[in-house]
Amino acid sequence: MHISPCTYGNILLSRASLVRLTTCHPSFYLKNLLRIASSPEAFPGLTHRREATSGYSTLTENMNAIKNTLAENIGGKFQNIGTHQFSLDQVPDLTGKVAVVTGGSEGIGFGCTHTLLKHNIGKVYILSVSEEEGAKDAIAKQLGQQAADKTRWIRCDLSDWWKVKDVAEEISKESDRLDILINNAGRGIMTYQLTDYGVDRHMAVNHMGHAILTSHLLPLMKQTAEKGNIVRITNQASNAHQAAPSDTKFESLEELNRDLGANAQYGRSKLANILYARYFTEKVTKAGYPKLLMNATHPGFVSTKMSKEDIFEPFPLGGYAMAVGMEPFKKDQFEGAVSAMFASTYTEKSGQYICPPAVPESGSKLSQDKVLADNLMKLTWKIVTEKTNDGVGSCLLLNN
């Protein structure tokens, strides 16, 4: 599930406060928007706009912040008021291209898969723990059997790092190109749990599994880029990254394995998704591969299994407010795929954090910390190499 903090001009409504939507009346979100937007404390420029001409620019900035907050997080017509517009109809023709989508058979992932096929992509590899036959049937019914036949499902549990490596190698042997990689699958806001490797499941799946997949597909993507094609990698992050603890250092496994609570556990893994995009841009895009891009995205409030069912795991009672009460305000799976589609098929920039429809946001202070990004990837390499006896993680640092 992806829940956003709200930035209204100079005010940031923290991720932690929004998570309390699970225990509050669903109208809390919209009431806070109106309350904060109308308060002079939120926009001091409104109070003094007659005293300085700069107040007018401040007013404009504050109004744009409100518009973007709504566009980024709520479904329906609200998406049309964002300052940076993009729609799924603007996805270019993808004839001959190849894509990999993790979690591509349900939720936002299905929205991505469906959109890629609708725009004539040559092949889509769908990686997930279990096959969703209904997804392929839906594609055949809506887009035709020929489109459905362009998909290939491969079982892949991102917490099983050896399997992730094997899947990447299987794809690399089978395909002579890879234009799009959408790292979408993940563990949502759920309670603390360790994998069989003895690593926090949120970090092991949401970040490390995708970093392993990306690293082992990287030679194929470099080969594709070297032929003059733009290759795009998208990490599905979230404004929930604001929930990561302020003392996050990424210095040890012991730090990762602290039980922070469902919100912070998830938020830290989303922070890692953004940092990885910044790190990759420095180590790959700016180091000889300008056509190989990686960005992170936020999808907004989206109606998915995570927000309708999984939310009850950490919040057995409060989950009803999010699962039922907030449902009218959520985006559908296609609306939730818009920012990912912009990052995966359209943008020519790298290292950005993109919110719907196509709004580049700075993200939290931690998400902009280059030292923290380096620490993250050094720790990722250390943990993966130790847990797999150096069989999986040797290429994670991207030093060349």
* Active-site choice (125, 197, 266, 353): 266
Token pair recorded at residue 253: 């496994």
CA distance 247 to 183: 26
Tell me the two tokens of residue 69.
Answer: 């907050």
Residue 211's SS3 state is: helix
Distance CA 344, CA 295 (A): 8
Cβ-contact 225, 292 below 8 angstroms = yes
Sign of the CA dihedral running 249, 252, 258, 263? positive
Q: Which amino acid is at 54?
A: S
Out of 123, 136, 150, 270, the active site residue is 270
What own/partner pairs with CB < 8 Å and gap ≥ 24 does 21-28 have? 21/321, 21/322, 21/326, 22/311, 22/315, 22/318, 22/319, 22/321, 22/322, 23/315, 23/317, 23/318, 23/321, 24/321, 25/321, 25/325, 26/321, 26/322, 26/325, 26/326, 26/329
And the tokens for 152? Answer: 């290939």
Structure tokens of 10? 């100079």
Q: Are 299 and 340 in contact (CB under 8 A)?
A: yes
Burial label, 198 (beta-carbon count in 10 A; 0-12, 13-18, 19+): exposed
| CA distances, 331 to each of 2, 21, 34, 111 (Å) | 11, 16, 20, 11
Whether 163 is a known active-site residue: answer no
- Structure tokens of 316? 């057995």
Q: Give catalytic status of residue 387 as yes or no.
A: no
CA 122, 174, 397, 109 dihedral sign is positive
Burial class (CB in 10 A: 0-12, 13-18, 19+), 95: exposed
Residues tagged active-site: 266, 270
